[in-house]
Amino acid sequence: MQEFLQYIFSGITNGAVYAVIALGFSMLYGSTGLINFAQGEFVMIGALSLISLWKGVNLPLPLAFAGAVAITAIAGAMLERFAIRSVKKPHPIVLVIITVGASILLRGVGMLVWGKDSHGSPSFSDHAPYDILGATLLPQSLWILVLTLGVVLGLHIFHKRFLTGRAMLACAISTKAAGIVGIPTEKMVLLAFSMSAAMGGIGGVLIAPLSMSSFDMGMNLGLKGFCAAMIGGLGSSWGAVVGGLLLGVLEALGVGFLSSGLKDAAAFVLLLLILYFRPSGLLGTASVQRF
């Protein structure tokens, strides 16, 4: 029981991080129909920026948090402005390769800026870990969970309540029609890119105190986040959350009841099963035709 609870805690902690990263994938796909393979690199930038701003520059945590997210958002906006928008005939595969190129580029930049070593970061708060029925719950896990839910709720409200959010949804449904009714579609794409990059940045900020961060941390997290987004249903915010948590918990249970070496396989077997039996994802409704 004690172990089981520990697996769940561990799974939820990792899962919440996957969820935030998945959210970035999902919201970009939802508004532009694009899969950004550089998403993991935004996680890396977020994590390392936080460490630099918080520990290096000694900014207070909230400021460092905001700064790190802002840096990733700017990186995302630059990716859209200088690379994605420059493509004249945007065939999806060409755009995907551009994001792959961007991920290599960003990793290179990360290596130059932060070096090849790993960096650690303290937790957001100094509380001692909680002991629940013998299982340990880290305060950082609570932070991650709360902030993840906050991000999803924020996104939900943005899409439902704000004019810009609704305009973005309109672009997702039909760029042409949105353009005709006067929505600046180019700006919307730019905004979608920087928002999804910011999600990646938040994921990085959340994970930095939990683990060690280095310039090459992005790919693995990006893949997991992408997997989570697929499981939950691309384009669905709540799907991303469900997918992320499910993936995290499944991995932890895989460690507990199978073998730790097979836990990555477990994630991808789940992905295949979802594809076979429910291709639109657990919560996905949109017919997935692009790419």
Partner 1 sequence: MRYLILMAGVLAAGFGLSSPYQIQLLTFIGINSLLALGLNMLMGYAGQISLGHAAFFGLGAYVTGVLTAHFHWSPWLALPVAILLTAAAAFLIALPLLELSGFYLGMGTLGFGMIGYVVFRQWSSLTGGDSGLVGIPSLELGPLSFADAKNYLFLVWAVALLCIFLCDRLIHSRIGRALRAIHDSERAASSMGIDTGRLKVHIFVLSAVMAAIAGFLYAHLVSFISPGSFDFLVSIRIVTMVVIGGMASVWGALLGASVMTILPETLTVFTEYEMIVYGLIMITIMIVIPQGLFRGILDIYERARFRTGSIPAGPQA
Partner 2 sequence: MKAAGIASIGVLAAAAVMLVMIAPGQSWGKEPYRIGGIYAITGSSSFLGDPEKKSMEMAVEEINSRGGIDGHPLEAVILDSEGDPTKAVLAANKLISKDKVIAIVGPSLTPTTLAIVPVVEKAGIPLISCAAGIKITEPVKPLVFKTAQNDVLAVSAIYRHIQGRNIKKIGIITVENAYGESGRDQLKALAPKFGINIVQAETYGAKDTDMTAQLAKLRAAQPEAIVCWGTNPGPAVITKNVVQMNMKIPLYQSHGVASPKYIELAGPASEGVLLPTGKILVAEQLPESDPQKNVLKSYIAEFEKRFSMPVGGFGGYAYDGTYLLAAALKGTEGDKKKIAENMEKIKGHAGVTGTFAFSPQDHNGLGADAFVMVEIRGGKWHLLK
Q: Where are the alpha helices (DSSP H) in the chain?
A: 2-32, 39-51, 61-78, 92-114, 139-161, 163-173, 175-180, 185-207, 218-232, 237-257, 263-277
Tell me whether residue 61 or residue 255 sits nearer to partner 2 (CB atom).
255
DSSP H or E segment with residue 132: strand 130-132
Question: What 3-state DSSP class applies to 124?
Answer: coil
CA 200 – CA 223 distance, rounded (Å):
12
In three-state secondary structure terms, 141 is: helix
User: Contact with partner 1 (CB under 8 A): which of 230, 246, 247, 252?
Assistant: 230
Out of 2, 86, 125, 174, name the contact with partner 2 by CB under 8 A.
2
- Smallest distance from the beta carbon of 286 to partner 2, in angstroms? 30
- Assess 120 for contact with partner 2 (CB under 8 A): yes
In this structure, what token pair is assigned to residue 184?
A: 């600046």
Binding to partner 1 by residue 283, rule CB under 8 A? no
Indicate the burial class of 179 (C-beta count within 10 angstroms; 0-12, 13-18, 19 or more). Answer: middle
Position among 59, 74, 271, 282 found at the interface with partner 1 (CB under 8 A): 271
User: Does residue 122 belong to the site contacting partner 1 (CB under 8 A)?
Assistant: no
Q: How far is the CB of 248 from partner 2 (least distance, A)?
A: 9
Question: Which CB, 143 or 226, lies closer to partner 1?
Answer: 226
Q: What minimum distance in Å lies between the beta carbon of 3 and partner 2?
A: 5
Q: Closer to partner 1 at the Cβ: 139 or 256?
A: 256
261 binds partner 1 (CB under 8 A): yes
- Minimum CB separation of residue 83 from partner 1 in Å reads 5
Does position 107 interact with partner 1 (CB under 8 A)? The reply is yes
The answer to whether residue 119 forms part of the interface with partner 1 (CB under 8 A) is no
Helix 61-78, helix 39-51: angle, nearest 10: 150
Give bridge partners of residue 119 from the DSSP assignment.
213
Closer CB to partner 1, residue 84 or residue 151? 84
Q: Does 37 bind partner 2 (CB under 8 A)?
A: no
CB 193 within 8 Å of CB 234: no
Least distance in angstroms from the C-beta of 189 to partner 2: 31
Tokens representing 129 are 């870990």
Total residues at interface with partner 1 (CB under 8 A): 47
Eight-class DSSP state of 213? B
- CA–CA separation, 186 vs 180, rounded Å? 13
251 binds partner 2 (CB under 8 A): yes
Contact of 181 with 5, CB cutoff 8 Å: no
Residue 283's Cβ-side half-sphere holds a number of Cα atoms within 13 Å equal to 15
Task: Give the SS3 label for residue 54.
Answer: helix
- Binding positions for partner 1, rule: CB under 8 A: 35, 37, 83, 86-89, 91, 93-94, 96-98, 100-109, 111-112, 219, 223, 226-227, 230, 259, 261-262, 264-265, 267-269, 271-272, 275-276, 279, 288-291
- Binding positions for partner 2, rule: CB under 8 A: 2-3, 6-7, 9-11, 13-14, 17, 111, 116-120, 122, 129, 131, 135-136, 138, 207, 210-212, 214, 216-217, 220-221, 251-252, 255-256, 259-261, 263-264
